Amino acid sequence: MRKIEFTPQQTHDIIHKYQYEHLSQQKIAEYYNVSKTAIRNLLLANNVQMRNNKMEIPDTIKQQIIDRYVNQYFGLQTAGKPWGYSQKVVETLLKDAGIHKRTYLEAKQIARTYSVNDDYFKTQSSNMAYILGFLAADGNIAKKENCINIQLQLQDEQILQDIKNEVQSTYNLDYYKTRAGRDTVKFNIWSYEWKKDLAIYNIIPNKTFVLMPPDRLNKIYYKDFIRGYFDGDGSISCHKNNIKYCSWEIVGASKSMIEWIYNILANQYHIFNTNKITKFYTDNDKLIYKIGYYGVEDIQKLYNLLYQDDDCLCLLRKKEKFETILK
């Protein structure tokens, strides 16, 4: 088996994530797409002291994990998941806090407490296509559970609240700080029908590098899908001293998806880009593809396309950035 080699910068970052951000070895391994053993070997080789899973969890995170289980009704497998803690760790925390684990009947009762429109993705619409695009870019589909979630920075809470209302969900938004101290908001949905229907549009577990275009989506909704994808994995910016130097960009790890968006914008909406699809590597050596459109003229065309419906679902922060550039 080939030995995994890390760059000096990666080694520094891994040690920092373990010691100061309190990420688990498993969580770090998932981030770098390597085995847990590879991370453990690196830590040991650099004389990093292994921690006791229970005792080394900061008190603030312990309380958030317990709150997720007791008050937000996450399960044993998911209560500690944002920080990479296993079911066993969660069970130990609950035991130490004198909190009993829910029985099977109690868990079933909780499952009936919350609801969502399970048939939402069975009927195509502008808003449905937008949410498909957002999930394609920024959603996570659990592999073993019927759970779909989106996690964003707290400043973008607005779009999660709008999506929550659109799909008629009574599930609560989940607020917490990451180990790095960032305020985030997360929307979790548990639905067998959602998971099954999303797969029809190629939104599946572990989709990042294999995401395929939504070939079963009616082409009249392509603009809405692209708006959703842009809100999840796109950016718009302008030079602080010259507003004429502005850019609209979309990125993704799936070449097929980025090429599809590029071709749809050109062939269906006649928004052409003389710059070809570019690619670059992230700090953890993951290949990313990017398309970009530059200049006020292209920005205006994209705005007219994406926001032609006044009441469309969108991330207001990015729409307002468009309007600031074009005013």
> What does the pLDDT look like over 241-261, one tens digit per residue?
666 688 999 999 999 999 999
Coil, helix or strand at residue 240: coil
Task: Write down the pLDDT at residue 108.
Answer: 63
In a domain, 135, yes or no: yes
Please enumerate, as own/partner, the contacts of 21-28 that have beta carbons within 8 Å and a separation of 24 or more: 21/178, 21/179, 21/180, 22/56, 22/57, 22/58, 22/61, 22/83, 22/179, 23/83, 23/84, 23/179, 24/53, 24/83, 24/84, 24/85, 24/86, 26/84, 26/86, 27/83, 27/84, 28/84
**DSSP secondary structure code for residue 146 in this structure:** S
Reading across the β-sheet that carries 242-252, which strands appear in turn?
234-239, 242-252, 287-294, 278-281
d(CA 283, CA 57): 27
On the question of pLDDT at 286 being above 70, the answer is yes
298 Cβ contact partners less than 8 Å away, ≥ 6 residues apart: 248, 271, 273
Q: Please, which pLDDT band fits residue 293 given cuts at 50, 70 and 90?
A: very high
Q: Is residue 209 part of a domain?
A: no
Threshold 0.85, pTM exceeds:
no
Q: Are residues 163 and 197 in the same domain?
A: yes
Mean pLDDT of 82-102: 86
DSSP state, residue 21: S
Retrieve residue 240's tokens: 């602080």
CATH code, domain carrying 280 = 3.10.28.10
Residues 194 and 144 in one domain: yes
The reply to whether 86 falls in a domain is: yes
Do 236 and 298 fall into the same domain? Answer: yes
Q: What is the mean pLDDT of residues 269-273?
A: 89
- Give the span between the Cα atoms of 317 and 177, in whole angstroms: 21
Q: Are residues 312 and 237 in the same domain?
A: yes
130 and 100 co-located in one domain: no
H-helix or E-strand spanning residue 320:
helix 316-326
Contacts of 226 (CB under 8 A, 6+ apart): 133, 261, 264, 265, 306
Query: Per the domain annotation, does 189 fall within a domain?
Result: yes
In a domain, 223, yes or no: no
**Residues 6 or more apart in contact with residue 268 via CB below 8 angstroms:** 219, 222
Domain count, the chain: 4
Whether residues 286 and 245 fall in one domain:
yes
Q: What is the mean pLDDT of residues 268-289?
A: 86
Residue of 4, 313, 284, 303 whose CA lies nearest to 135: 313
Task: Give the whole-angstrom CA distance, residue 233 versus residue 252.
Answer: 7
Domain boundaries, position 186: 120-201
Q: Give me the residue label for tokens 């993705």.
A: 121
Q: Say whether both 38 and 80 belong to one domain.
A: no
pLDDT of residue 111: 64
DSSP string, 46-108: TTPPPPPTTTTS-HHHHHHHHHHHHTS---TTTTTGGGT--HHHHHHHHHHTT-PPPPHHHHH
Structure tokens at 254: 């799936």
267 shares its domain with 306 = yes
Distance CA 137, CA 225 (A): 10
Shared domain check, 294 and 241: yes
pLDDT band of 17, cuts 50, 70, 90? confident
Domain assignment present for residue 224? The answer is no
If asked whether residues 41 and 104 sit together in one domain, one would say no
The label of the residue with tokens 């609560």 reads: 172
211 phi, psi to nearest 5 deg: -60, 130
Residue 266 pLDDT: 94
Is 224's pLDDT higher than 90? yes
